[in-house]
């Protein structure tokens, strides 16, 4: 399938039997325009008041964030338009079980706040690869992790979000996919490149509020239309398209659609995979992924990081009710389009022969929402898209600038790192757009399955490594590296097979190898994580251990120890580290004479107007900042790596965490 197929006429322009033409009113356009102006205003306001000219200011929001923007940003960074389109689509195709992906996140979020973040803060790191470098020494693990993370972002996050956001606009407005994509990216890139993490997180708060309110309104209208939960059960079970493929059952809704826990062998999402295999992916996503962890690292204290995790945990309960179930409602109301199985009809409806479940959510918006609110829901989808994209762009530029560019350019200045990070965002966008056609043809047209399956082939080795790195002091660099290499090879083989063998359409014989047909990707994730952990442990025990004194503040058991005087990764050939909080280089301080001559040169050659505008937009200071003495740096570092909490704050966080887990267990039991 090419871009030509993707820009086929869609629901907005192609009328099928019994389908009403969809209209988009002036009021809707006005609502969307007002929304975009408001978002840009907040982005610009937060950009101006933020410290954007240093690594710590741009990438970690100056470590000044409180619990509520952190929680909102954790939620909206994860709930992108890919999740709206994908969750609703998989819910329309298979029922409630996919909601378990959201509820499983609660446990991982609490592990992030209570187990992982204390270690990261104590270690004083900006990126996850940087943590591994401090923990194990050497450079190869840090560079491998950075590159793999960027590949995962392109394959599973950026391209799917761009595709699903453009698909939504295509279904609702009938615009060309290219045009939709360009408009989305221009607005998103402006305030990400300009504002850094502060702008991203404050706009995330606004977008989270709009997402929750808008999606809740649509959910309420949808449930009222089908007769609430009992009516949905009845209508969903009879949602059969008028054109079927003879002698097959693929047009019939699943009999276990309203059960979360399904047969371990024949279930489309088997329950052991949903609980154990998914926990491997959730740990990677919430506890070791730069996009998510960067939000928690921006907290002003450990208690605020924990509070953010709890708030995000409460918010992650909601997508089952305002995304998954509305997807099922959409199939119940529009079985001919959302539930189509005939390849010709599916291609006419959404441009993909393998199925049209991905259009479940936009179809519901255009079919049920009144004028004005429809515009708000388009804004909600754009909010979801932009909040997740900005988060990924900011985190990707952090990884590239700090973990890769500093390796290539050992004497890179602060200003150079800021510029390189922003340029890298533009490169990422281009690569991601080129990947979009592959997404549309993979995994039965179910976007969420595509995202999770790719993650399950590449992420489990990282999960195994981080768990062992934090809890097992005996793990060393050779064990970590060869474990990652083993996991990469096994995961890559499965991923290549996945793309080599297409999922059969309705009525076609399944000719895929048994390892694809019979081993669910969630089972594969669990197996790969365990095997990688075994390899890491075996190689580590066969090679010399890391000296105990060099593990201070780098593991769970040593997190309260004072920081090591010499980090494992430092040697005489190493670049001068950039302090993440101040942006100051730890390199040799310039002499007074050199500093004076530098200032004279600066005064003599004032930059031209266009350059001044550019520097202002990017928040890059042309004046040298105040340099800190060694004593001041030491005090600042102690403050930034402090993980002590006030007793009251700690108690409030712990009580809320227990309440959150109780609600989570009840919901699993009720819908299980």
DSSP string, 384-403: HHHHHHHHHHHHHHHIIIII
Average pLDDT across the chain, whole number: 75
Please give the pLDDT value at position 615. Answer: 55
Q: Which two tokens stand for residue 192?
A: 């990400």
Task: Please tell me the distance from the alpha carbon of residue 508 to that of residue 596, in angstroms, as a whole number.
Answer: 77
How would you class 282 by CB atoms within 10 Å of its CB: exposed for 0-12, middle for 13-18, buried for 19 or more? Answer: buried
- Residue 7: CB atoms within 10 Å: 17
Going by the DSSP 8-state scheme, the letter that residue 113 receives in this structure is: I
pLDDT above 90: percentage of residues in the chain: 14
pLDDT at position 373 over 70: yes
Of residues 287 and 191, more confidence is placed in: 287
pLDDT at position 428 over 80: no
* Average pLDDT value for residue range 182-206: 64
How would you class 412 by CB atoms within 10 Å of its CB: exposed for 0-12, middle for 13-18, buried for 19 or more? Answer: buried
pLDDT at position 606 over 80: no
pLDDT tens, residue by residue, 495-511: 888 877 777 666 667 77
Task: Please tell me the distance from the alpha carbon of residue 342 to that of residue 243, in angstroms, as a whole number.
Answer: 7
Please give the pLDDT value at position 644. Answer: 77
Q: Which two tokens stand for residue 174?
A: 């009938």
Task: Please tell me the distance from the alpha carbon of residue 433 to that of residue 423, in angstroms, as a whole number.
Answer: 16
Task: Please tell me the distance from the alpha carbon of residue 665 to that of residue 152, in angstroms, as a whole number.
Answer: 31
Going by pLDDT thresholds of 50, 70 and 90, the confidence category of residue 486 is: very high
Query: Does residue 262 sit in helix, strand or coil?
Result: strand
Going by pLDDT thresholds of 50, 70 and 90, the confidence category of residue 567 is: very low
pLDDT at position 4 over 50: no
Please give the pLDDT value at position 14. Answer: 37
Give 191's contacts (C-beta < 8 A, 6+ positions apart): 39, 40, 43, 44, 47, 199, 200, 203, 390
* Average pLDDT value for residue range 163-169: 73
Going by pLDDT thresholds of 50, 70 and 90, the confidence category of residue 108 is: very high
Task: Please tell me the distance from the alpha carbon of residue 363 to that of residue 359, in angstroms, as a whole number.
Answer: 6
Task: Please tell me the distance from the alpha carbon of residue 500 to that of residue 99, in angstroms, as a whole number.
Answer: 29
* Average pLDDT value for residue range 381-401: 73
Going by pLDDT thresholds of 50, 70 and 90, the confidence category of residue 591 is: very low
Alpha-carbon distances, residue 276 vs 110, 264, 283, 524 (angstroms) = 17, 12, 11, 11
Please give the pLDDT value at position 443. Answer: 44
Total number of residues shown for the chain: 672
- Which residue bears the tokens 């494992």? 568
pLDDT at position 594 over 70: no
Q: Which two tokens stand for residue 115?
A: 């187990």
Task: Please tell me the distance from the alpha carbon of residue 427 to that of residue 119, in angstroms, as a whole number.
Answer: 33
Q: If you classify domain 3-17+25-265+296-446+631-665 with CATH, what class do you get?
A: mainly alpha
Please give the pLDDT value at position 47. Answer: 60
Q: What DSSP string runs through 401-458?
A: IIIIIHHH-TT--HHHHHHHHHHHHHHHHHHHHHHHHHHHHSGGG-HHHHHHHHHHHH
Please give the pLDDT value at position 49. Answer: 57
* Average pLDDT value for residue range 202-226: 82
* Average pLDDT value for residue range 398-407: 78
pLDDT at position 65 over 70: yes
Give 185's contacts (C-beta < 8 A, 6+ positions apart): 162, 389, 429
Residue 270, beta-bridge partner list: 262
Domain residue spans of the chain: 3-17+25-265+296-446+631-665
Please give the pLDDT value at position 576. Answer: 39
């Amino acid at each position: 399938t090419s871009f030509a197929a993707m820009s086929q006429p869609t629901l907005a322009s192609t009328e099928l039997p019994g389908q009403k033409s969809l209209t988009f009113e002036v009021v809707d356009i006005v609502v969307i325009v007002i929304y975009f102006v408001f978002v840009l205003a907040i982005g610009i306001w937060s950009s101006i008041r933020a410290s954007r000219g240093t690594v710590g200011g741009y990438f970690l929001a100056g470590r000044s964030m409180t619990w509520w923007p952190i929680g909102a940003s954790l939620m909206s960074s994860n709930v992108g338009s890919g999740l709206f389109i994908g969750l609703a689509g998989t819910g329309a195709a298979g029922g409630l079980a996919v909601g378990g992906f959201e509820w499983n996140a609660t446990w991982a979020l609490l592990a992030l706040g209570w187990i992982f973040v204390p270690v990261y803060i104590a270690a004083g790191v900006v990126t996850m690869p940087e943590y591994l470098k401090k923990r194990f020494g050497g450079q190869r693990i840090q560079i491998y992790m950075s590159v793999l993370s960027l590949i995962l972002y392109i394959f599973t996050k950026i391209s799917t979000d761009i595709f699903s956001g453009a698909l939504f606009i295509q279904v609702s407005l009938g615009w060309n996919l290219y045009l939709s994509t360009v408009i989305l990216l221009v607005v998103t890139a402006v305030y990400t490149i300009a504002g850094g993490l502060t702008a991203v997180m404050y706009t995330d708060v606004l977008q989270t509020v709009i997402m929750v309110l808008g999606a809740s309104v649509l959910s309420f209208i949808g449930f009222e239309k089908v007769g609430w939960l009992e009516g949905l059960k009845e209508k969903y079970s009879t949602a059969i398209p008028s054109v079927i493929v003879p002698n097959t059952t693929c047009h019939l809704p699943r009999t276990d659609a309203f059960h979360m826990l399904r047969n371990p062998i024949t279930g489309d999402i088997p329950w052991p995979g949903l609980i154990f295999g998914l926990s491997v992916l959730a740990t990677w996503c919430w506890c070791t992924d730069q996009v998510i962890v960067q939000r928690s690292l921006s907290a002003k204290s450990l208690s605020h990081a924990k509070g953010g995790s709890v708030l995000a945990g409460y918010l992650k309960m909601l997508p089952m009710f305002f995304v998954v179930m509305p997807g099922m409602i959409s199939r119940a109301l529009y079985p001919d389009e959302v539930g189509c199985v005939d390849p010709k009809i599916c291609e006419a409806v959404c441009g993909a022969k393998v199925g049209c479940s991905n259009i479940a959510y936009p179809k519901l918006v255009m079919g049920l929402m009144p004028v004005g609110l429809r515009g708000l829901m388009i804004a909600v989808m754009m909010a979801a898209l932009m909040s997740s994209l900005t988060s990924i762009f900011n985190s990707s530029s952090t990884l590239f600038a700090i973990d890769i560019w500093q390796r290539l350019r050992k004497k890179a200045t602060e200003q150079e790192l800021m510029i390189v990070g922003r340029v890298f965002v533009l490169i990422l966008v281009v690569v991601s757009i080129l990947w979009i056609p592959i997404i549309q043809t993979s995994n039965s047209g179910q976007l969420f399955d595509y995202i999770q399956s790719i993650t399950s082939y590449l992420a489990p080795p990282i999960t195994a490594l981080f768990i062992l790195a934090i809890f097992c002091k005996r793990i060393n660099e050779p064990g970590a590296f060869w474990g990652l290499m083993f996991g990469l090879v096994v995961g890559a083989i499965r991923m290549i097979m996945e793309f080599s063998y297409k999922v059969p359409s309705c009525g076609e014989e399944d000719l895929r190898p048994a390892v694809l047909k019979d081993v669910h990707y969630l089972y594969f994730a669990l197996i790969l994580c365990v095997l990688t952990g075994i390899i890491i442990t075996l190689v580590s025990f066969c090679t010399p251990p890391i000296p105990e004194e060099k593990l201070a503040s780098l593991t769970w058991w040593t997190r309260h120890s004072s920081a090591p005087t010499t980090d494992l990764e430092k040697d005489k050939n190493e670049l001068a580290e950039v302090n993440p909080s101040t942006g100051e280089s730890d390199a040799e301080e310039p002499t007074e004479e050199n500093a004076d001559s530098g200032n004279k040169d600066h005064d003599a050659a004032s930059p031209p107007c266009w350059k001044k505008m550019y520097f202002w937009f990017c928040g890059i200071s042309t004046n040298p900042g105040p340099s800190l003495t060694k004593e001041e740096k030491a005090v600042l570092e102690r403050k930034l790596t402090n993980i002590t909490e006030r007793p009251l704050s700690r108690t409030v966080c712990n009580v809320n965490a227990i309440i959150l887990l109780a609600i989570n267990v009840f919901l699993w039991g009720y819908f299980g």
